[in-house]
Amino acid sequence: MYELYYWSGIQGRGEFVRLVLEDIGQPYVDIGRDKGDDAVAKALDGVLAPYAFAPPVLRAGDLVVAQTALITRWLGEHHGLAPHDERGRLAAATIALTIADLTAEAHDTHHPITVEEAYEKQKASARERARAFRQHRIPKFLGYLERILEKTGNYLVGTVSYADLAAFQVVEGLTYAFPHTMAKQEIPKLRALRDRIAQRPRITAYLTSDRRLTFNESGIFRHYPELEAA
């Protein structure tokens, strides 16, 4: 039985892991939601120490894996949601890490100065950073994914993998946070991939369950209308 350690009230980075756990159909305990955030914080100094810096963290028996892209890779490779050959495995890992970078940049649009203070204390800088993110970074990252799909077809690395689930989630998150910007992106193949993932039976079941939290303004992908104003 896998244990996922992540904060209870948000999708956040943990959602990339939840999607993989749901898709591979493995039972897991979502520790934050089951036992509260205190249990997560306590575990970081206890059973998850010393290698886990921050949630999400996955515990699989004696193994402790942290860092979103590493957790999803490990799960994907152990449960048939990753390529089998080394080239494909490295490609999927590269994509997942690049999506993790995009996610970190999405986070910094509302926290460009410090995670120690609330968004409201850094709104002026957030507005500037969000503008650059919308104008330059979203097109650059999503164009990268689109160009891969132009070469590979239905999935980012030939056969479906955890990297496709990550692409689904980042499109969902960015669409929540920056709907007008996202509406303008010319990414037909990436949108088709998003739909293809949403239609996977276990993903559909998950997305319509109460296990799928809604996006909110405590998570990584936040919708602040002022961050999308020209």
Q: Which is nearer to its own copies, 71 or 177 (CB)?
A: 71
Choosing from 132, 192, 205, 229, the residue that interacts with its own copies (CB under 8 A) is: 132
Torsion of CA 32, 38, 44, 46, to 10 degrees: -120
Q: Which of residues 207-226 bind its own copies (CB under 8 A)?
A: none
By CB under 8 A, is residue 118 in contact with its own copies? no
Choosing from 136, 180, 184, 202, the residue that interacts with its own copies (CB under 8 A) is: 136
Q: Which of residues 138-177 bind its own copies (CB under 8 A)?
A: 141, 144, 147-148, 150-152
- Distant-in-sequence, close-in-space partners of 193: CB < 8 Å, separation ≥ 6: 149, 154, 155, 156, 164, 167, 168
Helix, strand, coil percentages for the chain (3-state, nearest 5): 60, 5, 35
Q: Which of residues 60-89 bind its own copies (CB under 8 A)?
A: 62-67, 69-70, 74, 86-87
Q: Which is nearer to its own copies, 19 or 145 (CB)?
A: 145
By CB under 8 A, is residue 116 in contact with its own copies? yes
Q: What does the block give as tokens for 202?
A: 């276990």
In whole angstroms, give the CA distance from residue 174 to residue 166. Answer: 12
In whole angstroms, give the CA distance from residue 120 to residue 112. Answer: 11
By CB under 8 A, is residue 47 in contact with its own copies? no
Query: What three-state secondary structure class fits 22?
Result: helix
Residues that bind its own copies (CB under 8 A): 49-53, 62-67, 69-70, 74, 86-87, 90-91, 93-95, 97-98, 101, 104, 108, 112-117, 122, 125, 128-129, 132, 136, 141, 144, 147-148, 150-152
